[in-house]
């Protein structure tokens, strides 16, 4: 494992605190699921389940009455619901990016946060999928969107980007779920082996799929993980590109733009990292994970947010430039209307939160300051919500004919559905924290100094064989 060697030369540190042993890692992560949940967990869980209950009631009322209870109406037929869908699906991007792309690029700091972000991805995609489902008004007809032979001779329209979206998002969900689960298997086995009562033993034993940690198990595991990483990497780019096609393939000024796919992907990674950061800081503080999730992890994440935030800022600027450069009066109007029309406040909130706020991360002092980055991470998520709102509502409300213009204002049910989806997300996430190993135990161990066979073995190539044997012996005796 040559990659570990130059660490000292690079003046870098290991990814866990000094003195943390392999057993400590297992203990820190496993005990969360074994001990009683802290009071704060119960408080948060109570709030989020209550909010999820409100979501259930809202949806029941929605299905009973119809989507007229929302503020959507011609010309703004897509509003908060689609905004929320894109927002959630964007948040769900950090999971695959961290687990697949960073894995393939050998970014070992990902091990401390990948479990988290994958879980977050799953829950975010569930929340995202909810919105188009209920937006369609009659969810029991959702099978219309799948190529199932039926008595109506009805077949999905493969020319429609909305259909591509169905496939893109469901593929993404499936692959993310598999990836998450494969990574969990060795850790479930750890929890099974530590279990003291029968139910835990059975439950974790069942999901651990008979994992014994044999050499063959590990080699299969590593291979499966690599294959899944390779499968999910294109998905990081494809899913949000396809989501952007929902807009970009239409002829709506403000939507019909070639920059949309990369711009959406950058925004998705941006918001995903921000959400991981928010959750990570809470969990790290509540459960005392400081030894495994160090400032360095957080700092690296902030750097990614700085990068993607700047990319998003570039895209905003480029949209304006192209609107002017195209010479298309409708396109020009839409962009001027965004910044100075009825929804100017949404546009400038978006600019402030997404473009300006991450620029603070140029300063090392600020990007290593936990309360500061916590606030910024929330600000970014607010900004990314506004981005989608701006794209959807400001493009629709004033497009071509002034006679067809209109404004949008949300109803109380728009607000309740949105807040409810947050409740659903946090309920799932809190359950995950309670019952699942929230950090990938096995993977963290792989990047610890103890996993390095050459640990404490200074100066390598100039040693002759005798000296090697001499230094190795005492170490073995100690064990």
Partner 1 sequence: MQIFPKSLNLLPLVAALGVAVGGGIATFVVVYYFSPRFLYVGYEPEQPVPYSHRLHAGQLGMDCRYCHANVERSFEAMVPPTQTCMGCHAQIRTESARLQPVRDSWTSGEPVEWVRIHNVPDHVFFDHSVHLSAGVGCATCHGRVDRMEVVAQAEPLSMSWCLDCHRDPEPYLRPTSRITDMDWTPEDATEAERTEMVALLDRATPPENCSGCHR
Q: What mask, x for binding partner 1 by CB under 8 A, covers residues 95 to 134?
A: ----------------------------------------
C-alpha to C-alpha distance for 444 and 74, rounded to whole angstroms: 52
- CB contact at 8 A, 370 and 33: no
C-alpha to C-alpha distance for 57 and 66, rounded to whole angstroms: 13
Candidate list 75, 90, 183, 205; residue touching partner 1; CB under 8 A = 205
Q: Does 149 bind partner 1 (CB under 8 A)?
A: yes
Q: Minimum Å distance from CB 201 to partner 1? A: 6
Phi, psi of 368 (to 5 degrees): -110, 10
Q: Minimum Å distance from CB 299 to partner 1? A: 42
Q: Cβ atoms within 10 A of the Cβ of 458, count?
A: 8
Closer Cβ to partner 1, 149 or 456, answer by number:
149
Phi, psi of 21 (to 5 degrees): -95, 170
Closer Cβ to partner 1, 30 or 271, answer by number:
30
Q: Minimum Å distance from CB 210 to partner 1? A: 7
Candidate list 9, 35, 74, 151; residue touching partner 1; CB under 8 A = 151
Chain positions 265 to 324 lying near partner 1, rule: CB under 8 A, are none
Q: Minimum Å distance from CB 149 to partner 1? A: 7
Candidate list 42, 105, 206, 218; residue touching partner 1; CB under 8 A = 206
Among 200-208, 261-269, 344-352, 417-425, which window interacts with partner 1 (CB under 8 A)? 200-208
Chain positions 18 to 37 lying near partner 1, rule: CB under 8 A, are none
Q: Rounded to the nearest 5 degrees, what angle is found at the Cα of 359, between the Cα atoms of 355 and 360?
A: 135
Closer Cβ to partner 1, 181 or 320, answer by number:
181
Q: Minimum Å distance from CB 197 to partner 1? A: 12
C-alpha to C-alpha distance for 441 and 464, rounded to whole angstroms: 37
Say how many residues touch partner 1, by CB under 8 A: 12
Best CA proximity match to 308, nearest among 265, 340, 277: 265
C-alpha 303: how far from chain center? 16
Q: Does 152 bind partner 1 (CB under 8 A)?
A: yes
Among 149-157, 333-341, 373-381, 394-402, which window interacts with partner 1 (CB under 8 A)? 149-157
280's tokens: 């990570």
* Cα dihedral across residues 165, 57, 390, 403: positive or negative: positive
Candidate list 65, 73, 150, 219; residue touching partner 1; CB under 8 A = 150
Q: Cβ atoms within 10 A of the Cβ of 119, count?
A: 23
Residue pointed to by tokens 């004919």: 401
Candidate list 9, 35, 74, 153; residue touching partner 1; CB under 8 A = 153
Q: Does 196 bind partner 1 (CB under 8 A)?
A: no
Among 148-156, 221-229, 286-294, 431-439, which window interacts with partner 1 (CB under 8 A)? 148-156
Candidate list 110, 192, 240, 294; residue touching partner 1; CB under 8 A = 192
Q: Does 202 bind partner 1 (CB under 8 A)?
A: yes
Q: Does 201 bind partner 1 (CB under 8 A)?
A: yes
Closer Cβ to partner 1, 148 or 356, answer by number:
148
Among 24-32, 143-151, 293-301, 314-322, which window interacts with partner 1 (CB under 8 A)? 143-151
C-alpha 311: how far from chain center? 18
Q: Minimum Å distance from CB 170 to partner 1? A: 17
Q: What mask, x for binding partner 1 by CB under 8 A, covers residues 210 to 229?
A: x-------------------
> Given the rule CB under 8 A, which residues bind partner 1?
149-154, 192, 201-202, 205-206, 210
């Amino acid at each position: 494992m040559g990659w570990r060697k130059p660490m000292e030369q690079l003046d870098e540190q290991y990814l866990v605190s000094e003195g943390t042993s392999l057993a400590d890692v297992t203990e820190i992560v496993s005990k969360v699921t074994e001990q009683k949940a802290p009071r704060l967990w119960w408080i948060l869980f109570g709030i989020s389940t209550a909010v999820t209950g409100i979501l259930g009631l809202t949806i029941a009322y929605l299905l009973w009455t119809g989507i007229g209870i929302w503020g959507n109406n011609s010309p703004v037929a897509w509003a908060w619901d689609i905004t929320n869908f894109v927002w959630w699906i964007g948040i769900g991007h950090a999971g695959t990016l961290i687990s697949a792309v960073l894995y393939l690029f050998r970014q070992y700091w990902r091990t401390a946060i990948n479990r988290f972000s994958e879980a977050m991805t799953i829950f975010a995609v569930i929340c995202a999928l909810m919105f188009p489902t209920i937006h369609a008004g009659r969810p029991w007809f959702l099978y219309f969107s799948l190529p199932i032979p039926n008595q109506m001779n009805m077949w999905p329209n493969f020319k429609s980007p909305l259909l591509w979206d169905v496939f893109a998002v469901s593929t993404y969900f499936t692959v993310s779920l598999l990836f998450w689960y494969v990574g969990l298997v060795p850790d479930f086995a750890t929890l099974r082996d530590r279990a003291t009562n029968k139910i835990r033993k059975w439950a974790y034993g069942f999901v651990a799929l008979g994992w014994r940690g044999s050499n063959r198990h590990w080699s299969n595991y590593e291979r499966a993980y690599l294959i899944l990483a390779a499968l999910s990497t294109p998905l990081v780019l494809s899913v949000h590109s396809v989501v952007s096609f929902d807009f970009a393939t239409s002829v709506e000024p403000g939507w019909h733009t070639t920059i949309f796919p990369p711009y959406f992907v950058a925004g998705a990674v941006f918001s995903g990292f921000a959400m991981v950061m928010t959750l990570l800081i809470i969990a790290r503080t509540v459960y005392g994970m400081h030894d495994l999730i160090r400032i360095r992890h957080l700092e690296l994440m902030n750097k990614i947010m700085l990068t993607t935030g700047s990319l998003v800022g570039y895209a905003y600027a480029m949209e304006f430039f192209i609107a002017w450069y195209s010479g298309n009066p409708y396109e020009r109007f839409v962009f001027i209307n965004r910044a100075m029309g009825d929804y100017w406040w949404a546009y400038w909130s978006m600019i402030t939160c997404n473009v300006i706020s991450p620029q603070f991360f140029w300063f090392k002092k600020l990007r290593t300051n936990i309360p500061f980055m916590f606030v910024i991470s929330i600000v970014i998520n607010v900004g990314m919500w506004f981005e989608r709102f701006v794209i959807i509502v400001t493009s629709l409300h004033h497009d071509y004919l002034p006679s067809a213009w209109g404004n949008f204002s949300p109803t109380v049910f728009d607000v309740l559905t949105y807040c409810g989806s947050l409740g659903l997300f946090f309920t799932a996430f809190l359950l995950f924290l309670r019952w699942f190993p929230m950090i990938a135990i096995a993977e963290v161990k792989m990047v610890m100094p103890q996993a390095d066979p050459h640990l404490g073995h200074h100066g390598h190539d100039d040693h002759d064989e005798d000296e090697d044997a001499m230094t190795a012996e005492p170490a073995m005796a100690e064990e």
